[in-house]
């Protein structure tokens, strides 16, 4: 019973998610995320145009007339997404406390997600080809809450991601619950 | 149950084979899966029929070969299935070509399920399924054990995690020597049984076909006009027939109602039959720290669940359940590894169609410090929840659809479109009215539903993850939604005060992180 305390706690004296100091993810993430999106959209538009204008295969007329609409839809959606990504990427912030990890994100719909350390089942660092080129990494933290609720921080510098993983793995509460 | 020899199970740490009766089980398994895919073979049979008639001998050889192959497969399944039970682990090695080895420590086993299919009743064997907390792949099935061995294994597994809790160990040790299943049952405290009448009620009230019938009813106009067209083609006019009929309009409608009820009866009967097959002779009992559910008409099932594995208690009432005052109570466990969340899943502990006082008693028995769900004071969701739905979704949609319908079709269609949206809005209003959140020192309670009611209660420390969501409009009104992620799924508390949202999230995190209690 040594060191045991049982002081009364009021809700207002609890550690608060609102006043939590957070740090941003890597600034490079926005650039590379936008670049990655463009690398997907531009070839897609190219394939669409190639199908429409190639001299070997002529499309049925209804597909020919649909081309413009599909092209316009892809462009509008991509531009919309790029604007959103431009605004959203810098709003992703995270925070590490003694007992939990927190992620704040969102432009129109703001989200604060908090993952207690002692419920973490395993940690994973994921790097796509672009991430590897940029020296970035994505940290995935799994709990028993299921795959749909995987806690993940994108756009971390590789060193930071590895440090975070090491911190989580060395945490004394890990696998305790 | 023909089990007289003393159990040797826990004393043999060497690799063992199943009882040869397992071959029959494998055979039934193959027949079952073959009959399921038989429907795809029918076209082949039709095409091949002419060929067979000329080549009976070859076909016979082929058929015999096939049967030999199936038998060989069943024998191989039996021969290459070996298991070993040591002090605290269960190991299994399966497969002829593709070897698979699984090592399952007792402490990671979440459920022990004992199943007795009809074919095992004569020999007194059972099939045991060991559910791990992890993925579906880590489920182990021991296809045939004697009832006694199965009980011994179950005891060993459930005892494993209690080695460091002397007071509990004492209770268990007392129960272990009881040799047969019946003996073990004597020590249990019976919590609930379901009579056939209860199951009939469950079958009627939980008939998912009601919804289907509703859809059929709305389609009856189309059906009637089609039939009318058909009859007039045949030279009959339905109006004339009705006019000439001696009965008045109410007699005709009564006849129609009778017809409808006649249609309803077989469907309800099917549902009742299903309910009885699954839940027949339902017994929920408690033995020290675990619940045991036994039920089933053809295949008897026995599921043991440690109380600490229960993540939340859910009380579900459909509108029909509400009318007859019954509730389905579900003790939800870890669901992250399983693929189905339906009410009949084996791992969830369902008590079908209980009365209100039975429900309260079961909750009090499971979590004595939890309050009865219906007596808790719930805080309701903000009216903006309904208002935003109305102004941002229903209103624009009704303007667009009604104008479109009016322009392209007729005013009648536009009115019909609007009335559908009004019904949706009314249902959403009911949903908003139903929403509620309550908290005490140890538990959070959430109420939801539309026409029915669903109560959920969970110990705060079982939290896996928490998130708070706010749209721009919600931020302006200082509102927020909280999502509590548990191992049994997520629970959302929408549109409450921002400060309350953060308070309950902080509180949940504090409880979880300071208590450091296991969620399993």
CA distance A18 to chain B (A): 7
What ranges do the domains of chain A cover? 28-88, 93-170
B483 pLDDT more than 80: yes
Q: Nearest-CA residue of chain A relative to B468?
A: A112
Chain B residues closer than 8 Å to A147 by CB: 336
* Segment A82-90 mean pLDDT: 94
pLDDT digits (tens, 9 = 90+) for B363-419: 999 999 999 988 899 999 999 999 999 999 889 988 898 888 888 888 888 888 888
* Segment B189-214 mean pLDDT: 73
Confidence at residue A107, expressed as pLDDT on a 0 to 100 scale: 92
Task: Give burial (CB, 10 Å; 0-12/13-18/19+) of B452.
Answer: middle
Cβ-Cβ contacts under 8 Å between A and B: the total is 102
* Segment A148-156 mean pLDDT: 91
* Segment B107-118 mean pLDDT: 78
Cβ–Cβ gap A114/B466 under 8 Å: yes
A116 pLDDT more than 70: yes
pLDDT digits (tens, 9 = 90+) for B310-355: 899 999 998 888 888 899 999 988 765 544 433 344 556 888 889 9
From A110, A151, A173, residue closest to B470, measured CB to CB: A110
Bridge partners, residue B82, by sequence? B17, B93
Confidence at residue B502, expressed as pLDDT on a 0 to 100 scale: 94
Chain A residues closer than 8 Å to B490 by CB: 145, 148-149
Q: Identify the CATH number of the domain defined by range A93-170.
A: 2.30.29
Cβ–Cβ gap B465/A146 under 8 Å: no
CA distance linking residue B166 with residue B148, whole number of Å: 25
Q: Nearest-CA residue of chain A relative to B339?
A: A146
From B469, B506, B517, residue closest to A109, measured CB to CB: B469
Chain B residues 448-477 with a CB less than 8 Å from chain A: 463-472, 475
Q: How confident is the model at residue B474 (pLDDT cuts 50, 70, 90)?
A: very high
B84 touches B15 (CB < 8 A): yes
* Segment B197-221 mean pLDDT: 63
Is B486's Cβ below 8 Å from some Cβ in A? yes
From A14, A100, A148, residue closest to B507, measured CB to CB: A14
Q: How confident is the model at residue B246 (pLDDT cuts 50, 70, 90)?
A: low
A1 pLDDT more than 70: no
In the predicted model, what is the mean pLDDT of chain B? 78
Q: What is the ipTM of this complex?
A: 0.88
What ranges do the domains of chain B cover? 9-192, 213-268, 310-381+435-515, 384-432
**CB-based contacts of B185: which residues, under 8 Å, 6+ apart?**
B285
Confidence at residue B30, expressed as pLDDT on a 0 to 100 scale: 83
* Segment A106-120 mean pLDDT: 92
Which residue would you say has higher pLDDT here, B240 or B105? B105
Task: Give burial (CB, 10 Å; 0-12/13-18/19+) of A72.
Answer: exposed
A151 SS3 class: strand
Cβ–Cβ gap A145/B336 under 8 Å: yes
Is B506's Cβ below 8 Å from some Cβ in A? yes
Chain B residues closer than 8 Å to A106 by CB: 469
B99 pLDDT more than 80: no
Strand-by-strand arrangement of the B465-471 sheet: A23-24, A93-96, A100-105, A109-116, B465-471, B479-486, B489-497
Confidence at residue B154, expressed as pLDDT on a 0 to 100 scale: 81
* Segment A126-147 mean pLDDT: 88
Q: How confident is the model at residue B472 (pLDDT cuts 50, 70, 90)?
A: very high
Q: Which CATH architecture has domain B310-381+435-515?
A: Roll (2.30)
pLDDT digits (tens, 9 = 90+) for A42-58: 999 999 999 888 888 88
pLDDT digits (tens, 9 = 90+) for B2-37: 333 444 454 456 888 888 888 888 888 888 777 766
**CB-based contacts of B8: which residues, under 8 Å, 6+ apart?**
B149
Chain B residues 244-283 with a CB less than 8 Å from chain A: none
Confidence at residue A70, expressed as pLDDT on a 0 to 100 scale: 92
Confidence at residue B59, expressed as pLDDT on a 0 to 100 scale: 82
Confidence at residue A74, expressed as pLDDT on a 0 to 100 scale: 95
B244 pLDDT more than 60: no
Q: How many CA atoms lie within 13 A of B349 on its CB side?
A: 33
Residue-wise over B312-351: b if at least 16 C-beta within 10 A, else e?
A: bbbbbbbebbeeeebbbbbbbbbbbbbeeeeeeebbbbbb
Is B343's Cβ below 8 Å from some Cβ in A? no
Cβ–Cβ gap A145/B475 under 8 Å: no
Is A105's Cβ below 8 Å from some Cβ in B? no
**C-alpha torsion sign, points B412, B418, B419, B421:** positive
From A111, A118, A119, residue closest to B469, measured CB to CB: A111
Is B490's Cβ below 8 Å from some Cβ in A? yes
B474 touches B495 (CB < 8 A): yes
Cβ–Cβ gap B468/A117 under 8 Å: no
How many angstroms separate the Cα of B160 from the Cα of each of A17, A176, B104, B129? 39, 17, 12, 17
CA distance A118 to chain B (A): 7
From B465, B487, B489, residue closest to A115, measured CB to CB: B465
Cβ–Cβ gap A17/B486 under 8 Å: no
B462 pLDDT more than 60: yes
Cβ–Cβ gap B506/A14 under 8 Å: yes
H-state helical runs in B390-462: 395-408, 411-434
Which residue would you say has higher pLDDT here, B289 or A163? A163
From B465, B485, B510, residue closest to A15, measured CB to CB: B510
Q: Nearest-CA residue of chain B relative to A117?
A: B513
Q: Nearest-CA residue of chain A relative to B519?
A: A177
Match 């011994």 to its residue by tokens: B152
Is A146's Cβ below 8 Å from some Cβ in B? yes
Least confident of B89-103, B174-188, B219-233, B363-377: B174-188
Chain B residues closer than 8 Å to A144 by CB: 133, 334, 336, 464, 487, 519
* Segment B276-304 mean pLDDT: 84
B467 SS3 class: strand
Chain A residues closer than 8 Å to B471 by CB: 108-110
Phi, psi of B130 (to 5 degrees): -110, 115
Among A116, A173, A175, pick the best mutation site for testing chain B contact (most B Cβ within 10 A): A116
CA distance linking residue B188 with residue B167, whole number of Å: 17
From B464, B466, B510, residue closest to A144, measured CB to CB: B464
Chain A residues closer than 8 Å to B502 by CB: 16-18
Q: How confident is the model at residue B184 (pLDDT cuts 50, 70, 90)?
A: low
pLDDT digits (tens, 9 = 90+) for B408-424: 888 888 888 888 889 99
Find, among B151, B132, B147, B127, the residue nearest to B90 by Cα: B132
**Token digits for A11?**
């809700």
């Amino acid at each position: 019973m040594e060191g045991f305390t049982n002081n009364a706690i009021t809700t207002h004296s609890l550690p608060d998610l609102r006043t939590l100091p957070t740090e941003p993810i890597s600034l490079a993430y926005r650039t590379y995320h936008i670049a990655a999106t463009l690398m997907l959209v531009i070839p897609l538009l190219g394939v669409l145009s190639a199908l429409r204008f190639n001299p070997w295969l002529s499309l049925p007329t209804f597909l020919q007339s649909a081309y413009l609409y599909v092209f316009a839809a892809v462009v509008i959606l991509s531009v919309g997404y790029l604007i959103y990504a431009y605004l959203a990427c810098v709003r992703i912030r995270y925070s590490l406390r003694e007992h939990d990890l927190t992620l704040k994100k969102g432009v129109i719909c703001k989200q604060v997600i908090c993952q207690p350390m002692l419920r973490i089942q395993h940690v994973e660092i994921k790097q796509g080809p672009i991430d590897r080129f940029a020296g970035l990494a994505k940290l995935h933290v799994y709990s028993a809450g299921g795959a749909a609720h995987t806690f993940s921080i994108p756009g971390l510098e590789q060193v930071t991601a590895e440090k975070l993983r090491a911190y989580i793995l060395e945490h004394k509460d890990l696998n305790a619950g | 149950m023909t089990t007289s020899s003393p159990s040797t199970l826990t004393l043999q740490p060497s690799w063992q084979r199943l009882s040869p009766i397992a071959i029959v089980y494998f055979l039934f398994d193959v027949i079952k899966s073959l009959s399921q895919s038989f429907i795809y073979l029918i076209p082949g049979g039709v095409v091949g029929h002419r060929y067979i008639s000329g080549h009976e001998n070859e076909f016979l050889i082929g058929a015999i070969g096939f049967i030999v192959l199936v038998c060989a497969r069943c024998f191989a399944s039996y021969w290459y299935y070996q298991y070993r039970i040591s002090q605290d682990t269960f190991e299994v090695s399966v497969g002829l070509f593709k070897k698979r080895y699984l090592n399952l420590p007792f402490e990671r086993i979440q459920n022990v399920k004992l199943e007795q299919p009809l074919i095992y009743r004569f020999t007194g064997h059972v099939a045991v399924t060991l559910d791990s907390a992890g993925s579906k792949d880590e489920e182990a099935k021991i296809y045939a054990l004697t009832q006694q061995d199965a009980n011994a294994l179950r005891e060993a597994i459930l005892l494993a995690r209690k080695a460091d809790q002397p007071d509990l160990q004492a209770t268990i040790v007392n129960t272990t020597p009881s040799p047969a299943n019946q003996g073990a049952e004597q020590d249990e405290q019976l919590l609930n049984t379901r009579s056939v009448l209860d199951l009939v009620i469950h079958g009627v009230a939980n008939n998912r076909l009601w919804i289907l019938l509703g859809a059929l009813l709305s389609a009856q106009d189309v059906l009637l006009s089609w039939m009318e067209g058909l009859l007039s083609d045949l030279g009959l006019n339905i109006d004339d027939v009705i006019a000439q009929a001696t009965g008045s309009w109410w007699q005709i409608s009564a006849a129609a109602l009778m017809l409808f009820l006649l249609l309803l009866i077989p469907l309800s009967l099917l549902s009742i039959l299903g309910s009885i097959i699954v839940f027949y002779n339902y017994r929920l009992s408690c033995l020290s720290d675990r619940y045991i559910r036994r039920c089933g008409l053809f295949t008897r099932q026995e599921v043991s669940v440690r109380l600490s594995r229960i993540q939340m208690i859910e009380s579900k009432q459909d509108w029909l359940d509400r009318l007859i005052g019954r509730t389905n109570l579900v003790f939800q466990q870890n669901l992250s590894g399983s693929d189905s969340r339906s009410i009949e899943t084996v791992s969830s502990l369902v008590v079908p169609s209980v009365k209100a006082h039975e429900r309260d008693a079961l909750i009090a028995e499971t979590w004595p410090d939890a309050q009865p769900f219906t007596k808790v004071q719930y805080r309701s969701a903000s009216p903006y929840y309904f208002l935003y739905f109305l102004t941002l979704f229903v209103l624009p949609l009704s303007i667009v659809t009604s104008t479109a319908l009016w322009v392209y079709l007729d005013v009648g269609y536009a009115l019909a479109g609007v009335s559908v949206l009004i019904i949706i809005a009314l249902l959403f209003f009911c949903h908003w009215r139903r929403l509620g959140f309550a908290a005490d020192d140890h538990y959070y309670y959430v109420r939801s539903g539309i026409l029915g009611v669903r109560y959920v209660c969970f110990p705060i420390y079982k939290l896996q993850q928490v998130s708070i969501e706010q749209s721009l409009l919600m931020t302006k009104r200082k509102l927020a939604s909280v999502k509590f992620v548990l191992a049994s799924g997520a629970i959302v508390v929408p549109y409450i005060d921002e400060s309350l949202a953060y308070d309950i999230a902080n509180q949940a995190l504090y409880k979880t992180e300071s208590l450091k209690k296991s969620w399993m």
